[in-house]
Amino acid sequence: MKRALLLFSKGLDSLLAGKIIESQGIQVVPITYITPFFNWEYHNNPQKYYEYCKSLGFQESYLIDITEEYLSILKKPRYGFGCLANPCVACKTFMISKTKKLLNELQADFIVTGEVLGQRPKSQNKWAMEVIKDESGADDLLVRPLSAKLLPPSLPERLGWIDREKLYGISGRNRQMQFQLAKKFNIKNFPTPAGGCLLTDPEIGRRMLKILKEKRTLNPLTAKLSVQGRHFFTNDSWIVLGRNHKENVKLFNLVRNQLPVFTLSVPAPIAVVVEGTPTLEYIKDLLIRYSKKAQKHIANGFNIEIVQPNPLEFTFESLPTPHQRVAENN
């Protein structure tokens, strides 16, 4: 039996691509790449991913963390960015080339993706799809079942491993055909089309562009920090404050013993110093802005101190963004 590796973003298109190929008697093996910007929810719980794939009928699947390599792409994306900080052409090229290298190891014969011609102006036009095919090295071994009839026949089609007549010729942004196919394959709860890449999120995308433009520290830890909290940048510092109790605890656990962390002697958010050595007064001032208790204490004439947090002793508190005060500069 032939085996195909499916670049599985968890979106409907890649799922359909897998199902179309599977319906031709090929064993489809989903490969999902994770970074703090996409599919990170599985990082600490890969079992959940494997069970999800099994629930879709895929018995064998792989989850691969590519954070380190992905950050290099983000710092210098060949062919630039999409609408925000998403380097889609370079990202797809990288993921497909990585999948190509897995073909031998996983004893698979070709690669399948859910790309649709003309669906995304920058990364799924004819030119970009050619570039991705060539530069990934996948070349003839890359099958795009949703748009295959609009593209030159791939090797698996030419060799008769799969029947080209049973592939599709979908193009453009209209998703009616995909919805019909979802019915055909009895797929009911399909995820969002974009697959939830945080680099396309307006707030996070803009913040990441700033981090890149200003050549701020970007490593796996700061990448994880960049997708949460409130961010405050000065010329020589970068501070992150948690927005609620859950986020404060998460931030604390993330940076514990790796970066300086502060809070107040009354319930307040935590502040992580990502870059630079800002003064304690500056950090304290930021923390007070987001702590109702601190503001009350000060109004009543009490002293508050800036301290190092201990989650067993401190209750974190974060106020909503105070519009009338100094805004976050993220």
Question: Contact positions toward ligand SF4, by CB under 6 A?
Answer: 38, 82, 86-88, 91-92, 197, 199-200
Q: How far is the CB of 77 from ligand SF4 (least distance, A)?
A: 9
Q: How far is the CB of 286 from ligand SF4 (least distance, A)?
A: 31
Q: How far is the CB of 27 from ligand SF4 (least distance, A)?
A: 25
Of 238, 161, 178, nearest in space to 207 by CA: 238
Structure tokens at 2: 């032939």
Does residue 287 sit in helix, strand or coil? helix
Structure tokens at 203: 């707030």
For ligand SF4, which is the closer residue by CB, 212 or 306?
A: 212
For ligand SF4, which is the closer residue by CB, 99 or 248?
A: 99
For ligand SF4, which is the closer residue by CB, 120 or 284?
A: 120
CA-CA distances (angstroms) from residue 55 to 184, 187, 295, 309? Answer: 17, 11, 51, 42
Residues 276 and 237 sit within 8 Å (Cβ to Cβ): yes
Q: How far is the CB of 196 from ligand SF4 (least distance, A)?
A: 9
Q: How far is the CB of 40 from ligand SF4 (least distance, A)?
A: 12
Does residue 138 sit in helix, strand or coil? coil
Q: How far is the CB of 166 from ligand SF4 (least distance, A)?
A: 27
For ligand SF4, which is the closer residue by CB, 88 or 288?
A: 88
Q: Give the other-Cβ count within 10 Å of 260's Cβ.
A: 14
For ligand SF4, which is the closer residue by CB, 182 or 198?
A: 198
Edge-to-edge strand list for the sheet holding 62-65: 62-65, 27-34, 3-7, 110-112, 142-143
CA distance 301 to 225: 35
Strand partners, 232: 239
Q: Give the other-Cβ count within 10 Å of 139's Cβ.
A: 13
Structure tokens at 81: 């960015």
For ligand SF4, which is the closer residue by CB, 197 or 204?
A: 197
For ligand SF4, which is the closer residue by CB, 100 or 243?
A: 100
Q: Give the other-Cβ count within 10 Å of 175's Cβ.
A: 16
The amino acid at residue 134 is D
Q: How far is the CB of 263 from ligand SF4 (least distance, A)?
A: 34
